[in-house]
Structure formats: structure tokens, C-alpha cells
Amino acid sequence: MTKKVTVMEVALRDGSHAVRHQYTVEQVKAIVKGLNDARVPYIEVAHGDGIGGSSVQYGFSHTYDIDLIKAAKEVADFSKIAVLLLPGIGTVEDLKLAHAAGADMVRVATHSTEADVSAQHIKYAKNELGMEVVGFLMMAHMTEPERLVEEALKMQSYGADIIYVTDSAGALLPEGVTARVSALVEALDVPVGFHAHNNLGLAIGNSLAAIEAGATYVDGSVRALGAGSGNTQTEVLAAVLDKAGIETGIDIYGIQDVAEDLVAPIMEAPQIVDRDNIILGYAGVYSSFRLFAQRAGKKYDLEPRDILTELGRIGVVGGQEDMVMDVAARMAAERA
């Protein structure tokens, strides 16, 4: 029997980091239509830090993300529209608005040891709004498989339909992916997914390891557009899985055309594995911190790699972007 994997496209959410959250309605419509026509089953649309993320701390959006969700829904007659929500950033009110705008799925994201903060949002999305719900355990490299299983079981008990192992820093090696995904597959009654970042150049390899370990959902981003070195490149992933005899339903020519003709022209820079991104994966720092570290480095005349290394040493997690400037200021003071 042919193995099947569902691919979720994240360029219009994780990729928001890479374009400083400046997506326009016109861009979203064009890209969503292309992805829809290429038969991509799920397309995530939101501020990089999830619905409600537009702020001085995380970066202001060009366009209100609820309006982007509406625009996406208008042109998607095949693809389902997903949103990301981080409790403490997005609220139940934001979730209601996203659902009313057309969101079919919400991915409720927490740090990998803090699943309990997702209970309200998962239960409301599932029981009150009837949405598909994903539990998204971020920075999974910081949590051993046994503890990750405990957190995943909480999300399952709240009503999540799928649980994700999320390598937010691009720090996991394939054996680490295998250990975490296989542990969840064995323990859970719901499907398991995997979200990669390419900071150590391992996104495709890690995604294959996740699938081999039993994951049936994987994330991709056209042209790898995402935080840090970006995510698993969707057009590459679709071709690799087709070559491996794994069915995704994605038109491999169509997804290549979306990447080349629609996404590449709006990118501010290519997604590459450069020195700052390598340090993200090496030090285990949240991928979106790269741009913050670069800004702090300019302000305090510091090497961004040194800032990122220190952030990794002290164990910062997603949502602590405001600490980047504080750490850089301390480092500059110590140097003086």
C-alpha cells in the first residue's frame, strides 16, 4: 500500500518572519491561489508569531492578519486555511475572528514543556468552533522524548486532532527526530506531525526521518521561506517524496512554479545556511531570533553570532524576543 503524507504549507506564516511581516492582500491571494491549484492540502496564514502577533515586541504587520485570512479563503476552493496561535499572544477572541474569516484549522503552539497553557484554546477551537486542531510543541530539541510524550498526551486529552514535534531552532539531528517522533507515535491515539528548520541544513533529512518514524504530517515552505534558514523547502520535499513513492497529492510542477514565479520575486534575500543561521541550530536558539540578534549587533557593535551563542547558553525560548536587546546591552557593558 502506498504511504501517504499530508503536507502543510507555512510560507505565509513562518515566512512572515523573513519578510518582516509585510505580506499584502495581493501577495497572499496570488500565492494561495497558486498553492491551491497545486493541490496543497493546508496553507497556514498569519503573522509569524501567530494571530494577534502584530506588536512592537514581535513586529508590526503590513496588513491585519484577519484580512489576510479572508483573502486566502476567497481563492482557496481546495486547500484548507490554517492559522497559528500562541497562548499569551493570541486570544480566544483572535481565534473567533480567524474562524469567522475562514480559518479551518488552528495550530496551538506552546513551548515543549508547557502544553497545559493550550487547554483553553484547544478546547474552545474544537468544541465551540468545530475547527481542526493541532497541538504544536515548539523547541522540541530542549525536551527529551519521555517528557515530550507527557506534554503531547495533555494536548491529546484537550482534544487536539494532531500533535507536532516542532524543531523551532533547527537544532535536531536525524536520530533526535526519530526518537521524539517514534515516542509520540507509540504513545498517542492521534497522528503525529513534524516541523523543521534548515539552520543546520537538515530540514529535508529530518523530515524524511520523521516520516520513517511514523509522522504522517510534515510542514514545508515554498522556496524555504521562513525564519532562520527557513523550513523544509516544499517544492523539494514534494519531489523527494514522489521519488520515494510517498503520496502527497501535490502537483510537483505546479508547486515549483509557485516557488519560482510567485514567492521568489517577493523575497528580500535567499534562504541560505549562513553563519548566523548555523549558530541558531548549533546553539539551539529560536529561529526568529536571528533578525533580532542582527539588529542588536548593529546597535551595540557586537557580532550577532556571539549574541546568539549567549542566548543559547542561557536557554531562551520563543516569546522572549525582548531579551535579545537586554543580553546585547549586558554584553556590551561587560566588554566596556
By annotation, the residues acting in catalysis are 17
The span from the CA of 70 to the CA of 72, in Å, is: 5
3-state secondary structure at position 292? helix
The annotation status of 195 as a binding-site residue, yes or no, is: yes
Q: What DSSP string runs through 197-213? A: B-TTS-HHHHHHHHHHT
Q: How far, in Å, are 14, 15, 96, 121 from residue 45 at the CA level?
A: 9, 10, 15, 18
φ and ψ at 220, to 5 degrees? -140, 160
The annotation status of 286 as a binding-site residue, yes or no, is: yes
The annotation status of 47 as a binding-site residue, yes or no, is: no
The annotation status of 13 as a binding-site residue, yes or no, is: yes
The annotation status of 37 as a binding-site residue, yes or no, is: no
Contacts with 126 (C-beta within 8 Å, 6 or more apart), sequence order:
133, 158, 159, 160, 161
φ and ψ at 163, to 5 degrees? -125, 135
The annotation status of 221 as a binding-site residue, yes or no, is: no
SS (H, E, C) 128-174: HCCCEEEEEEECHHHCCHHHHHHHHHHHHHHCCCEEEEECCCCCCCH
The span from the CA of 191 to the CA of 135, in Å, is: 11
Binding region for substrate: 13-14, 168, 195, 286
Binding region for Mn(2+): 14, 195, 197
Binding region: 13-14, 168, 195, 197, 286
